[in-house]
Amino acid sequence: MRDLYGVIGDPIAHSLSPAMHNEAFRALGIDADYHAFHVTPENLEAAVNGMKAIGVAGFNVTIPHKQAIMPYLDEIDLLAETIGAVNTVVRTPHGWAGYNTDGPGFMQALKEESGRVISGEKVLVIGAGGAARAIYYTLCREGAVTVDLCNRTVKKAEEMRDESPFPCPSKVLTLKEAEEQLGEYTLIVQTTSIGMHPNTDAQPLSVRNLNPDAFVSDIIYNPFETKFLNEAKKRGARVQNGLGMFIYQGAIAFEKWTGVKPDTRKMKNVVESILGGNSC
């Protein structure tokens, strides 16, 4: 019987995880399938129990379930518990085990694509959800000079800062304040779903005051280049979409499920081939 893996989220139709992971299974000759499952918040507990009942071997977790899923797991890795969000679930002899591969995946992609030294960066993180927590804590742990936060709901960003186990200088800004002070930052990381397909005309804030020497990262990978990145690029900044983070966090999850390291080059190629028509 083929092993079954998947990803749960709401929405989920846009996800390229099935194409990426199924290519990795095929390349390694692993007899398994990976599917996307649309799970609404009110059905999350039933979905987690149902996946356990039908023998799913592991699954990914995306918006909006990364924090909400934690009470339904049997054990949680220390890093995921510290971050307060789970994006990867593995079946173990003891039940469901939760992990977070977002932070390590983001950092690997950032270092590879930017060539920058994180300890020298003054960072602005936009958003305060599960991915933002993972990235914020990882940047603080890496020793960034400052990591400021902005979010539509300021209180949520303040809670994220106050709960960080890796202290670093951090201010919490409103979106308007962030727009006005944008020129102060050398690294800007957009972690929200604003601008994701199909709402591609949206962006979280204006980049009119952007420092042209800044590096701008948006963790969205569909579309290949968000309006936020496109506007940043017009102002001279170097930009990075979420494809690298997506590939590396997925590769770490794949290894946790199977014990085998996948070929990230092949995983990237299959995703790029799908997104090619959306690249700018």
Residue 191 annotated in ligand binding: no
Is the bond leading into 204 cis (omega within 30 degrees of zero)? no
What one-character-per-residue DSSP string does the chain give? Answer: --EEEEEEESS-TT--HHHHHHHHHHHHT--EEEEEEE--GGGHHHHHHHHHHTT--EEEE-TT-TTTTGGG-SEE-HHHHHHT---EEEEETTEEEEE--HHHHHHHHHHHHH---GGG-EEEEE--SHHHHHHHHHHHHTT-SEEEEE-SSHHHHHHHHHT-SS-----EE-HHHHHHTGGG-SEEEE-SSTT-TT-TT--SS--TT--TT-EEEE---SSSS-HHHHHHHHTT-EEE-SHHHHHHHHHHHHHHHHSS---HHHHHHHHHHHHGGG--
State yes or no: 89 annotated in a binding site: no
Residue 242 in marked binding region: yes
Is 131 marked as a binding-site residue?
A: yes
Is 170 annotated as contributing to ligand binding? Answer: no
**Residue 240 labeled ligand binder:** no
152 labelled as ligand-binding?
yes
- Tell whether residue 130 is among the known ligand binding residues: yes
Instruction: List, in sequence order, the alpha helices (H) in 54-194.
Output: 78-83, 102-114, 130-141, 154-162, 175-180
Is 36 one of the annotated binding-site residues? no
Query: Does 86 count as an annotated binding residue?
Result: no
Annotation-wise, does 62 bind a ligand? yes
Query: Is 15 assigned a ligand-binding role in the annotation?
Result: yes
CA distance 24 to 262: 6
Of 250, 252, 248, 232, nearest to 240 by C-alpha is 232
Q: Is 105 annotated as a binding residue?
A: no
User: Mind telling me the catalytic residues?
Assistant: 66
| 155 among annotated binding-site residues | yes
| Binding-site residue ranges for NADP(+) | 127-131, 151-156, 219, 242
| Binding-site residue ranges | 15-17, 62, 87, 102, 127-131, 151-156, 219, 221, 242, 249
| Binding-site residue ranges for shikimate | 15-17, 62, 87, 102, 221, 249
